[in-house]
Structure 1
Amino acid sequence: MILYPAIDLKGGQCVRLLHGEMDKATVFSDNPGAQAAKFQAAGCRWLHVVDLDGAFAGKAVNEAAVRSILGAVTVPVQLGGGIRDHAGIERWLEAGISRVILGTAALRDPQLVIAACKAHPGKIAVGIDARGGMVAVEGWAETSDVSALDLARRFEDAGVAAIIYTDIDRDGALTGVNVQATADLARAISIPVIASGGVASLDDLRGLMAVADSGIEGVISGRALYDGRIDLAQAIAVLDGKEAA
């Protein structure tokens, strides 16, 4: 199982939100490139980057910060936030992003996801952010009447590389990852699932490892890595099944 350290960008800085609310942002670094390099030096094999401002604006806002991250690391980077058309997808892939995450666009324009998967095999992920099991979009500002499972099933045969499932009610709150809901989703679809939201301790990672056969292929962690609750090297060892007895 892969650990994806999270770099959420707001105003060019690395932040973490509480329950997805932009006015509840904690700044952890004002140098995204340096933060990315730090994660890479600690052993991560992927990075998860979100342009938070872009998610609300519907277009890239923190482009300079994303490019600084790309220039600072050699590990692959997946990026979401405000990517809503073919031009945006292609621009970021050309810039060096390894996987583009489509969230709001997946709900509003599913044909974009299908076409992008065909044009860029293995390069497109779908971000499903759920509040009470229902999909939230536009930077989590709006909750739809579509369930997370129903949205995921729309892309079963599209060639989506992964579903990134975030439980908004737990995101940034350090209350523990929603193992059951994530595993239930993973078992119900054939697309690999990446867990996100609420990871607070190594025990959360162990809990996910216990249901790895459900189809969960990775987990995103942000605040717990920044504030030292989780040591990145230890976390990677847990997810590699190499934790010291």
Structure 2
Amino acid sequence: MQIIPAIDLKEGCAVRLKQGLMESAKIYAKEPTELAKHFETLGAEYLHIVDLNGAFAGTPKNRAVIEKICKNSKLKIEVGGGIREEETIKAYLDLGISRVILGSIALKNPNFALEMAEKYPIVIGIDAKDNKIATEGWAKGADTLAWEFAELFKGSKVQAIICTDIAHDGMLDGINLEFTKKIQDKSQIFTIASGGLSCQEDFEALREAEIGGVIVGKAFYEGKIDLQKAFEKFQ
């Protein structure tokens, strides 16, 4: 199972939100590069970075920080937030990013996402409120059911789907396994759970459900889990 610690960037700082609300941001590190190095020391192989300002603006806003993290880390890094164009995808990959996350643009233009997946290492971000897709930094909703959207990518070259139940994000109340499993079953693509991880037992439940990976955020920052032990046991 891929255990992927997360760094969410707001104005250059590592923060965590509750249910995607920018006004709920709590700063955990003013120097994200050091945080990435710490994850590497603990045993991480992967790192999940979201440019929160970029997600709301529709264009990358924390590129300089992301570039610094990339240059000072051996981690396999995936990046999302405000990526809407092929040139942005190429620019991130040129920095040494391992894979690029497409969210809002994938919903607006699934064919673009499928085309990009033919050429580049692409991950689809599926974020949902009440099982329906949310976009633009989760500020806007759509009528599309998350698992119906996921099914569009079945048989494609998309490398993974990251699915987030927004109601659980940053709440430390447990992963929505049913939601995650449904996304995985419908898409038949490697699926990474996100939102709500709260304790070591959640890793056990994810492995039992045969989920491909999990994003770790607030549970680490608030000291609810031993990340090093999780890497040793489950990764």
TM-score bin, normalised by smaller chain: over 0.9
TM-score of the aligned structures, taking structure 2 as reference length? 0.98
Question: Where does 1:5-154 land on structure 2 (aligned, <5 Å)?
Answer: 5-120=5-120, 123-154=121-152
More divergent stretch after superposition (161-170 vs 184-193): 184-193
- Measured at CA, do residues 181 and 238 of structure 1 come closer, stay the same or move farther in structure 2, by a change above 3 Å? farther
Task: List alignment gaps of at least 5 residues for structure 2.
Answer: none
User: Residue 237 of structure 1: CA displacement?
Assistant: 2.8
The residue number in structure 2 matching 1:243 is none
User: Residue 118 of structure 1: CA displacement?
Assistant: 1.1
Question: Where does 1:152-171 land on structure 2 (aligned, <5 Å)?
Answer: 152-171=150-169
Q: Does 1:221 align with 2:216?
A: yes
The residue number in structure 1 matching 2:234 is 239
TM-score of the aligned structures, taking structure 1 as reference length? 0.94
RMSD: 0.9
Secondary structure at the counterpart of residue 157 of structure 2? coil
Residues 33 and 71 in structure 1, CA contact (< 8 A), matched pair in contact too: no
Secondary structure at the counterpart of residue 212 of structure 2? strand
Residues 17 and 24 in structure 2, CA contact (< 8 A), matched pair in contact too: yes
Residues 147 and 182 in structure 2, CA contact (< 8 A), matched pair in contact too: no
User: Residue 94 of structure 1: CA displacement?
Assistant: 0.8
User: Residue 190 of structure 1: CA displacement?
Assistant: 1.1
- Aligned counterparts of 1:42 and 1:74: Cα–Cα separation in 2: 13
The C-alpha deviation readout for 1:22-74, integer Å capped at 9, x for no partner, is 00001000001110000001000100000000000000100111111102210
Residues 152 and 187 in structure 2, CA contact (< 8 A), matched pair in contact too: no
- Aligned counterparts of 1:168 and 1:130: Cα–Cα separation in 2: 6
More divergent stretch after superposition (9-18 vs 180-189): 180-189
Residues 190 and 212 in structure 2, CA contact (< 8 A), matched pair in contact too: yes
Q: Which amino acid aligns with 2:145?
A: S
- Measured at CA, do residues 238 and 181 of structure 1 come closer, stay the same or move farther in structure 2, by a change above 3 Å? farther
The C-alpha deviation readout for 1:88-119, integer Å capped at 9, x for no partner, is 11110111110000000110111221111111
- Aligned counterparts of 2:185 and 2:222: Cα–Cα separation in 1: 32
Tell me the percent identity.
41
- Aligned counterparts of 2:231 and 2:192: Cα–Cα separation in 1: 15
Task: Name segments (4+ residues, structure 1) moved above 6 Å.
Answer: none
Q: Which amino acid aligns with 1:65?
A: V
User: Residue 155 of structure 1: CA displacement?
Assistant: 1.4
- Aligned counterparts of 2:141 and 2:33: Cα–Cα separation in 1: 33
